[in-house]
Amino acid sequence: MTSPPPFLAQHLPLDKATASRPHITVTWAQSLDSKIAGVGGKRVILSGSESMLMTHWMRTMHDAIMIGINTLILDDPRLQINLLPASPNLRPPQPLILDPHLRFPPSARLLTEYLTKPSQRSISLHQPWIICSDQVSHFKIRALEGSGARIIPVKVDESGRIPPSSLPTVLGELGLRSVMIEGGSKVLSQFLSCKDKREDGSPLVDSVVVTVAPTFIGDGVGVVPEGEDKGLPPLRTLHTETMGKDAVMVCAIDI
Ligand SMILES: NC(=O)C1=CN([C@@H]2O[C@H](COP(=O)(O)OP(=O)(O)OC[C@H]3O[C@@H](n4cnc5c(N)ncnc54)[C@H](O)[C@@H]3O)[C@@H](O)[C@H]2O)C=CC1
Ligand SMILES: Nc1nc(O)c(N)c(N[C@@H]2O[C@H](COP(=O)(O)O)[C@@H](O)[C@H]2O)n1
């Protein structure tokens, strides 16, 4: 595969995205028993080589990629596009970490690789940007900034949460036209179940891309955290593609 799978370009209208109306894609890989990780959050490689490659193409199509801090701590991901051919024309997305209390460890690969190997295969890595609560102490912010990350304090609600509906504004202020939300379960379910609509009446999430792997995990982390399965919206399937052993579904929220 030397260019993005055509079904992605066809069903993710990213060319229409702007900083004032950013495109939000939610994506994950799951087992047949709806798990995204093993016991205690142990990372499981669910995607086969074909669908993993598709995920890397999808990363190049978005300006930013967002994960929750638990995923950062448990997986220590790179969020790179290293499975794609080396090309200065292919851009990795800007990593955004949702981390209200600044638990981000300075030893995270996302930061250490940016600091020690900022250019890989002619591709410049991005500085990780951490979205935290505006209630976090200046001391904590300065300490993590000193380690090399960019910290973006954002207004939180009464439960200390960054309201998912504020994401388009946050992205717009950062000049980002699109984001791919890659998990984990708390982040995915919050964004999917957000009831607030955009000003134009469209749902907060524009696209949902799910890789289903033909495997069972058993005990582990579900796509939706236990007890938080209320208020998830119906989805409309736009396309299903078989990629190697996996099925990839592209959906939209059915309003
Ligand atoms: N198979 C797959 O595609 C993927 C699997 N995973 C797995 O997911 C697991 C982690 O999932 P979770 O434990 O649910 O954690 P998570 O990665 O969703 O992070 C949750 C944390 O993010 C922060 N957060 C989330 N929403 C927020 C909001 N609205 N405002 C402020 N902060 C917010 C909070 O600190 C919260 O505790 C890992 O085991 C990882 O391996 C993660 C990504 C993709
Ligand atoms: N698409 C996909 N398939 C899987 O099987 C997965 N476990 C994940 N996990 C997500 O990818 C991140 C790691 O990516 P890199 O190795 O850094 O490229 C991980 O943190 C999850 O967000 N995704």
Three-state SS for 190? Answer: helix
Residue of the CA atom closest to atom 39 of ligand 1: 41
pTM for this predicted structure: 0.97
In a domain, 5, yes or no: no
Q: Which residue has the tokens 């991901």?
A: 77
pLDDT of 33-63, one tens digit each? 999 999 999 999 999 999 999 999 999 999 9
- Ligand 2 pocket, residue 151 CB under 6 Å: no
What average pLDDT score do residues 11-40 get? 96
Ligand 1 atom closest to Cα of 101? 35
Going from the Cα of 122 to the center of ligand 1, the distance in angstroms, rounded, reads: 31
Q: Are strands 94-98 and 129-133 parallel, antiparallel or unpaired?
A: parallel
Q: What pLDDT does 194 receive?
A: 93
- Ligand 2 pocket, residue 94 CB under 6 Å: no
CATH code of 242's domain: 3.40.430.10
Total domains in the fold of the chain:
1
End-to-end CA distance of the chain: 34
- Ligand 2 pocket, residue 47 CB under 6 Å: yes
CA distance 209 to 47: 13
How many angstroms separate the Cα of 56 from the Cα of each of 2, 139, 187, 244?
A: 12, 36, 20, 15
In a domain, 205, yes or no: yes
In this structure, of 49-58, 87-96, 135-144, the range with the lowest mean pLDDT score is 87-96
What average pLDDT score do residues 103-125 get? 93
Q: What pLDDT does 189 receive?
A: 95
In a domain, 146, yes or no: yes
Q: What pLDDT does 169 receive?
A: 97
HSE-CB of 74 using CA atoms within 13 angstroms: 18
Residue 1 has pLDDT above 80, yes or no: no
In a domain, 154, yes or no: yes
In a domain, 7, yes or no: no
Given a contact cutoff of 8 angstroms between Cβ atoms, the answer to whether 249 and 13 are in contact is no
pLDDT band at 142 (very low <50, low <70, confident <90, very high): very high
Tell me which residue range forms the domain holding 68.
19-253
Going from the Cα of 102 to the center of ligand 2, the distance in angstroms, rounded, reads: 22
Arithmetic mean of pLDDT over the chain: 95
pLDDT of 200-236, one tens digit each? 999 999 999 999 999 999 999 999 998 887 889 999 9
In a domain, 100, yes or no: yes
Going from the Cα of 170 to the center of ligand 2, the distance in angstroms, rounded, reads: 24
In this structure, of 68-72, 89-93, 202-206, 225-229, the range with the lowest mean pLDDT score is 225-229
Q: What pLDDT does 88 receive?
A: 82
Rounded to 5 degrees, what angle do the CA atoms 171, 175, 178 make?
55
Residue 118 has pLDDT above 90, yes or no: no
Percent of the chain having pLDDT more than 90?
A: 89
Burial string for 76-89 (b: 16+ CB within 10 Å, else e) reads ebebbbeebeeeee
CA distance 32 to 191: 22
Q: What is the ipTM of this complex?
A: 0.99
- Ligand 2 pocket, residue 77 CB under 6 Å: yes
pLDDT band at 23 (very low <50, low <70, confident <90, very high): very high
The closest ligand to the CA of 69 turns out to be: 1
Q: What pLDDT does 114 receive?
A: 96
In a domain, 247, yes or no: yes
Going from the Cα of 54 to the center of ligand 2, the distance in angstroms, rounded, reads: 12
